[in-house]
Amino acid sequence: MPRILLVDDEPSIRAALARVLRRDGHHVLSASDGRQALEIATRESPELVITDIRMAAMDGLELLRHLGQLEPSIPAIVMSAYTTAETTSEALRLGATCVLAKPFKLPELREAIERALQEQTPAAAESGEAVEVPSAASISLRKGPHGGGCDC
Protein backbone atom coordinates (compact mmCIF):
# COMPACT_ATOMS: atom_id res chain seq x y z
CA MET A 1 0.00 0.00 0.00
CA PRO A 2 1.76 3.18 -1.18
CA ARG A 3 2.21 5.92 1.41
CA ILE A 4 1.10 9.28 0.07
CA LEU A 5 1.84 12.54 1.84
CA LEU A 6 -1.06 14.92 1.13
CA VAL A 7 -0.34 18.61 1.76
CA ASP A 8 -3.03 21.30 1.58
CA ASP A 9 -3.89 24.18 3.90
CA GLU A 10 -7.63 23.83 3.25
CA PRO A 11 -8.91 21.25 5.77
CA SER A 12 -11.98 20.35 3.70
CA ILE A 13 -9.92 19.67 0.55
CA ARG A 14 -7.34 17.71 2.53
CA ALA A 15 -10.04 15.59 4.23
CA ALA A 16 -11.95 14.91 1.00
CA LEU A 17 -8.83 13.91 -0.94
CA ALA A 18 -7.58 11.77 1.96
CA ARG A 19 -10.91 9.90 2.00
CA VAL A 20 -10.70 9.21 -1.73
CA LEU A 21 -7.07 8.10 -1.55
CA ARG A 22 -7.78 5.75 1.36
CA ARG A 23 -10.71 4.22 -0.53
CA ASP A 24 -8.31 3.69 -3.42
CA GLY A 25 -6.05 1.67 -1.11
CA HIS A 26 -3.37 4.22 -0.24
CA HIS A 27 -1.95 4.94 3.19
CA VAL A 28 -2.41 8.70 3.59
CA LEU A 29 -0.27 11.03 5.68
CA SER A 30 -1.64 14.58 5.94
CA ALA A 31 -0.05 17.98 6.51
CA SER A 32 -1.47 21.50 6.49
CA ASP A 33 1.65 23.24 5.15
CA GLY A 34 5.11 22.59 3.76
CA ARG A 35 6.91 22.82 7.08
CA GLN A 36 4.70 20.15 8.66
CA ALA A 37 5.00 18.04 5.49
CA LEU A 38 8.79 18.18 5.61
CA GLU A 39 8.76 16.94 9.22
CA ILE A 40 6.44 14.07 8.25
CA ALA A 41 8.48 13.21 5.14
CA THR A 42 11.64 13.02 7.25
CA ARG A 43 10.00 10.56 9.67
CA GLU A 44 7.74 8.56 7.36
CA SER A 45 9.48 8.37 3.95
CA PRO A 46 6.40 8.57 1.70
CA GLU A 47 6.40 7.07 -1.80
CA LEU A 48 4.58 10.12 -3.22
CA VAL A 49 3.86 13.71 -2.22
CA ILE A 50 0.76 15.57 -3.41
CA THR A 51 1.00 19.24 -2.50
CA ASP A 52 -0.79 22.51 -2.95
CA ILE A 53 1.35 25.48 -3.98
CA ARG A 54 -0.01 28.38 -1.92
CA MET A 55 0.24 27.67 1.81
CA ALA A 56 1.40 29.47 4.94
CA ALA A 57 4.65 28.64 6.75
CA MET A 58 6.19 26.97 3.66
CA ASP A 59 4.63 26.84 0.21
CA GLY A 60 4.60 23.85 -2.10
CA LEU A 61 7.50 24.99 -4.26
CA GLU A 62 9.73 25.51 -1.22
CA LEU A 63 8.64 22.07 -0.01
CA LEU A 64 9.76 20.58 -3.34
CA ARG A 65 13.16 22.30 -2.95
CA HIS A 66 13.64 20.74 0.50
CA LEU A 67 12.34 17.33 -0.57
CA GLY A 68 14.79 17.37 -3.47
CA GLN A 69 17.63 17.72 -0.96
CA LEU A 70 16.15 15.21 1.49
CA GLU A 71 15.14 12.48 -0.97
CA PRO A 72 15.34 13.40 -4.66
CA SER A 73 13.62 10.19 -5.80
CA ILE A 74 10.26 10.98 -4.10
CA PRO A 75 7.84 11.87 -6.90
CA ALA A 76 5.50 14.80 -6.36
CA ILE A 77 2.23 16.02 -7.83
CA VAL A 78 1.51 19.72 -7.45
CA MET A 79 -2.03 21.11 -7.37
CA SER A 80 -3.19 24.70 -7.24
CA ALA A 81 -6.05 27.00 -8.07
CA TYR A 82 -3.42 29.60 -9.00
CA THR A 83 -1.45 27.76 -11.65
CA THR A 84 0.59 29.89 -14.03
CA ALA A 85 3.14 28.96 -16.67
CA GLU A 86 5.88 30.20 -14.32
CA THR A 87 4.76 28.14 -11.31
CA THR A 88 4.22 25.10 -13.52
CA SER A 89 7.70 25.43 -15.00
CA GLU A 90 9.24 25.89 -11.55
CA ALA A 91 7.35 22.90 -10.11
CA LEU A 92 8.52 20.68 -12.97
CA ARG A 93 12.09 21.98 -12.62
CA LEU A 94 11.95 21.06 -8.93
CA GLY A 95 10.88 17.50 -9.71
CA ALA A 96 7.09 17.49 -9.85
CA THR A 97 5.79 14.81 -12.19
CA CYS A 98 2.51 16.63 -12.82
CA VAL A 99 0.78 19.93 -12.10
CA LEU A 100 -2.98 19.78 -11.56
CA ALA A 101 -5.04 22.96 -11.85
CA LYS A 102 -7.85 23.07 -9.27
CA PRO A 103 -10.58 22.16 -9.68
CA PHE A 104 -9.64 18.82 -11.22
CA LYS A 105 -11.53 15.57 -11.72
CA LEU A 106 -10.74 12.49 -9.63
CA PRO A 107 -9.82 10.35 -12.68
CA GLU A 108 -7.16 12.93 -13.47
CA LEU A 109 -5.70 12.71 -9.98
CA ARG A 110 -5.79 8.91 -10.07
CA GLU A 111 -4.00 8.86 -13.42
CA ALA A 112 -1.35 11.29 -12.17
CA ILE A 113 -0.82 9.14 -9.03
CA GLU A 114 -0.49 5.97 -11.08
CA ARG A 115 2.05 7.59 -13.41
CA ALA A 116 4.04 9.12 -10.56
CA LEU A 117 4.25 5.84 -8.66
CA GLN A 118 5.31 3.93 -11.79
CA GLU A 119 7.95 6.43 -12.92
CA GLN A 120 11.53 5.74 -12.05
CA THR A 121 14.15 8.44 -11.63
CA PRO A 122 15.60 9.00 -15.11
CA ALA A 123 19.06 7.60 -15.64
CA ALA A 124 20.18 11.04 -16.79
CA ALA A 125 19.21 12.59 -13.46
CA GLU A 126 21.02 9.82 -11.56
CA SER A 127 24.16 10.29 -13.62
CA GLY A 128 24.20 14.03 -13.00
CA GLU A 129 23.43 14.93 -16.61
CA ALA A 130 21.17 17.88 -17.28
CA VAL A 131 17.47 17.05 -17.57
CA GLU A 132 15.56 19.31 -19.94
CA VAL A 133 12.61 21.09 -18.34
CA PRO A 134 10.24 23.19 -20.43
CA SER A 135 10.51 26.94 -20.06
CA ALA A 136 7.54 28.90 -18.75
CA ALA A 137 6.96 30.32 -22.23
CA SER A 138 6.56 26.85 -23.76
CA ILE A 139 4.08 25.47 -21.22
CA SER A 140 0.45 25.25 -22.20
CA LEU A 141 -2.13 25.41 -19.44
CA ARG A 142 -4.83 23.74 -21.50
CA LYS A 143 -7.44 21.49 -19.93
CA GLY A 144 -6.54 17.85 -19.42
CA PRO A 145 -8.43 14.88 -20.91
CA HIS A 146 -10.96 14.84 -18.04
CA GLY A 147 -11.74 18.56 -18.06
CA GLY A 148 -9.32 19.59 -15.32
CA GLY A 149 -5.90 21.12 -15.64
CA CYS A 150 -3.42 18.26 -15.68
CA ASP A 151 -1.11 18.51 -18.61
CA CYS A 152 1.20 15.70 -17.58
For residue range 53-98, list pLDDT tens digits in order: 999 889 999 999 999 999 889 999 999 998 899 999 999 999 999 9
Stretch 131-144: mean pLDDT: 40
Res. 139: pLDDT tops 90: no
Q: Where are the domains of the chain?
A: 3-138
6 exposure class (CB count in 10 Å sphere: 0-12, 13-18, 19+): buried
Stretch 121-134: mean pLDDT: 39
**Of residues 15, 86, 11, 81, the one with CA closest to residue 52:** 81
Res. 40: pLDDT tops 50: yes
**Confidence class of residue 106 from pLDDT cuts 50, 70 and 90?**
very high
Res. 151: pLDDT tops 80: no
Res. 24: pLDDT tops 70: yes
How many CB atoms are located within 10 Å of the residue 119 CB? 12
User: How many Å apart are CA 144 and CA 98, to the nearest integer?
Assistant: 11
Mean pLDDT, all residues of the chain: 83
Residue 1: the pLDDT is: 85
Give 37 or 125, the one with higher predicted confidence: 37
Res. 31: pLDDT tops 60: yes
Does domain 3-138 correspond to CATH entry 3.30.70.20? no
User: How many Å apart are CA 2 and CA 61, to the nearest integer?
Assistant: 23
**126 contacts: CB under 8 Å, gap ≥ 6:** none
Stretch 101-117: mean pLDDT: 95
Residue pair 139/85 in contact (Cβ under 8 Å)? The answer is yes
Res. 122: pLDDT tops 50: no
